[in-house]
Amino acid sequence: MHSASVRGPGHINRGQPNQDAVLIRRNRNSWLAVVSDGMGSRKHSDIGSKMACQAVLMMTRQCSFDEPDKTVIHCTYKHWLNLLDNIRPDDAIATCLFAWGKPSGKCRLFQLGDGAIYVSSGEQQTLKPRDENSFGNETTGLGLSKKYSDWVCAQSQISINQGLVLVTDGISDDLVEPQLFASSVIKTMKNKGARYGKQWMKRELENWPTPHHTDDKTIAVIHRK
């Protein structure tokens, strides 16, 4: 498992923090990858994204892997609200994308808001936002969405030597061939150690080839050995 997150040139120039967050965890019984993008117009968006990652982790410790989608979503949202403490939810709106899996390769995918999850295992699978026709930079996220139907939920089976990639929209919006990108990253990362892998991905994100890009960029990569 590998992850990296970098501030976009826009936030660097304005002296603002990275509004993305990422979390990866693995133990004997399961693994988890989460990416989140705080809505830039909200004053605590960086906190909202960090707490989104922590909320998903807390959910996995409370819920069984086979819980219904609605239970997983409700538990995640409840923990996010509690972690915000005195911060108003609409001041900390953040997207929430996560993959929760077992050593067998079975995994569950959840997405609220912009970004994407790319599965590279036999048949290619992509999760995208529920509403791709939203106007301009509008998206949804924790603190804004009140409907289960805003979430995209799916299950997948990751084969040996295959994997998946989660990205915030600073990456997904620029990809012309997203599945090719995902397959290439998984193949590149599978033999890299945690420290060197993070360094390599950060360097790639900091030297992103899209002209005039400004957004923060965050990625999590899962490879099943």
Question: pLDDT tens for residues 47-65?
Answer: 999 999 999 999 999 999 9
- Cite the DSSP H helix spans in 130-191: 169-172, 178-189
CA–CA separation, 33 and 164 (whole Å): 10
On average, the pLDDT of the chain sits at 90
pLDDT at 133 over 70: no
pLDDT at 198 over 60: yes
Residue 73 sits at φ, ψ, to 5 deg, of -65, -45
Q: What kind and span of H or E run contains 205?
A: helix 194-206
The whole-number average pLDDT for the span 196-224 is 90
pLDDT tier at 130 (50, 70, 90 boundaries)?
A: low
